[in-house]
Amino acid sequence: MISSTELAAIVRAYNPNADFERLDAAYEYGRRMHDGQKRHSGEEYFMHPVAVAAILAEQRLDDDTVITALLHDTLEDTGSTYTELTERFGLGVAELVNGVTNLTNLQLSSHQTKQAENFRKLFMAMSKDMRVILVKLADRLHNMRTIKHMKPEKQVKKARETMEIYAPLAGRMGMQWMREELEDLSFKVLNPEGRQSILRRFVSLQRETGDVVVKITADIEYELDRKGIIADVYGRAKKPYSIWRKMEEKKQSFSRLSDIYGFRIITNSEDDCYAVLGALHTRWSAVPGRFKDYISQPKSNGYRSIHTTVSGRDGKRVEMQIRTHQMHEVAEGGVAAHWSYRDGVQEENPFAVDPSSWIDSVTDRLSDGEDHSEFLEHVKLEMYADKVFCFTPKGDVIKLPKGATPLDYAYGIHTRIGDSCVGAKVDGLRVPLWTRLRNGQSVEIITAEGQRPQATWIDIVTTGRAKTAIRRSLREEDRARFIKLGRELARVGFENVGKRATEKALKTAANLLGEADGDNLLEKLGTAELTTGAVLSALYPELEGLHAEEVLPDKAVIGLDPDQPFQRADCCQPVPGERIVGITWRGKGVMVHTIDCNALSEFESSSARWVDLHWQPGQHATAHGVSLNIVMGNDPGVLGRICTLIGEQRANISDVEFVDRKPDFFRILMSVEVRDLEHLHRVMTVVDADSDVAELTRHKDLARAPS
């Protein structure tokens, strides 16, 4: 465990004016409060807060942040109180410790809805003081470094949470070194064999080619010396997880993967960065599409650097990052560079982003989420996103995630522009809406009055803002369509009992059934959440049972033992009048299938389970659901007319599912309740005779066979 003196020495190296007496008091207080507590490894628990403090001190952070690290578990795990921390170390430290405690209590990898709500709380905590999340990230980093002492199942849970949440968050904050280490530590837990295979390949490659990093570093330094450019060159092989991810994304083996080495060239000035770029491209061939200038177009977290990939020694692709010393400090520390100290004063780095501005830029982009699951989707999209910069026809810059399309660009300008988008021009040429945009392209959106978002757009866009706007529009459109369908179902149902579905009647029924208004009632009728029978029963209790079909007094199926239960199989949905057979199931009784059901082939070798059955003659109830596959014209009134035709045959529609919607036709699965095979044939005949019905089949789904 690092001693108080050793920790003070780390701080003194960058901040000789620090309050070392206060720092020492926090160290002693934390050690006393955690006295007797042990970690899973058997070591004293206090070694963990000290290690977290050292990680933050190595980032040259201020006194309050380092002290918070020393005390970050006192409120949760000891008898310490918020009041006592305030009295001893000040309100700022107490607030930070309390913020870290609240973050620790968030179960960020739990159920989807709760996870999304916890993300909201996480961002709220960050917006108050981002140093809270810096302490939490350092806390997670040390826990991952010592994770081997946890139980295997806990290791997997923590590693997955780190990979999904904390690593991308560190990257989004510009702390790339921390992201890479968190990812690699998680990778070691989640896929140890994969990581070991990468490391073995590296050893084998080094044995074959020698130390490539040393050779390429020497090549770069030689070229820079020739041009008279002073710069520091650092090279390394990429982390195992980074290489594994590239192999997965590109579907390539290690032997075919070329850009596994990365180099950083740190210069004294911005002009030297471009001079270095010229020297590299003069010496080696640049790889097309692998150039990014984040100096002229910085990332939102302050990151500035020139990225280029060249075909280096022996044709191997080599990634180069070129930046100044100040840019490098931001690249390493990210948002944390705002609090960095040097020689006792807070360092003024012109490239460091104000944390409040950064978090505002993130939360503003997430403010449109209407429910928890959408908010969570937006958070993850934003955290994982790399940026591309496109230009409007007027020259304004629009920032978008990597992989964004013209539709994302349209919604990035305004929801109204996105909703009415019918096409796009990129650099003056008409392109499909699913085109992936690249840095520096000029984009023009073509709109048309009356255009509405299409369901297929959800799969085209990548930004949370666009997905939210499209879903909202589709919900509104679906609601209008379901209300229209519900109104038609209500009309048919009411007419069948000699009543009229007036607005007053619908409003009264809505009140009786606890719905907000008549439209809500109609929408639920249209989505099959309510039936017309339930509405009629609520309004006219005296009619209940009056128009019900006569049900046979005995069992409708003959061939069963007394009191033997049976069910109709969902796969073939047999109805009276069809030849049937039963299959016995333990705990389920007998499952009734049509004689030609494909699911029966699985039971050919189990003859003892077969039961000879047939339907009892006589009148059956209208209670046998059958799924119809209908392809019909996408014109006003068609669906309502089909519902009317079915209602006129005194069959009940219990569910409607829109399977595929096109501009001219759409396909639906409609569940219809009939009495028997003859009743079903009548229903299908009148529907199939409609001129707007292109296809009508009985839908049988083998996937729904009992198992």
Active site residues: 76-77
CA distances from residue 662 to 632, 659, 666 in whole angstroms, order as listed: 10, 10, 6
Q: How many whole angstroms separate alpha carbon 469 and alpha carbon 412?
A: 11
* H-type alpha helices, 72-191: 74-77, 82-89, 91-104, 112-128, 131-145, 152-161, 167-172, 176-190
- 286, 308 contact by CB (below 8 A): yes
Helix (H, G, I), strand (E, B) or coil at 534: helix
Q: Which of 20, 57, 206, 224 is nearest to 49 (CA)?
A: 57
Tokens coding 366: 């997430």
Tokens coding 82: 């918020």
Q: How many whole angstroms separate alpha carbon 476 and alpha carbon 258?
A: 49
Helix (H, G, I), strand (E, B) or coil at 61: coil
DSSP 4: H
DSSP 32-46: HHTTT-B-TTSSBTT
CA distances from residue 156 to 121, 356, 588 in whole angstroms, order as listed: 24, 34, 38
Q: How many whole angstroms separate alpha carbon 566 and alpha carbon 49?
A: 64
DSSP 267: E
CA distances from residue 294 to 147, 268, 352, 413, 533 in whole angstroms, order as listed: 36, 17, 14, 22, 64
Contacts of 157 (CB under 8 A, 6+ apart): 109
Q: How many whole angstroms separate alpha carbon 271 and alpha carbon 231?
A: 12
DSSP 408-472: HHHHHH-HHHHHTEEEEEETTEEE-TTPPP-TT-BEEEEE-TT----GGGGGT--SHHHHHHHHH
Q: Could you tell me which residues are beta bridge partners of residue 630?
A: 668, 696
Q: Which residue has the tokens 């569910």?
A: 655
Element containing residue 585 per DSSP (H, E): strand 580-585
Residue 440, sorted as left (phi over 0), alpha (psi -120 to 50) or beta, turns out to be left
Q: How many whole angstroms separate alpha carbon 59 and alpha carbon 333?
A: 7
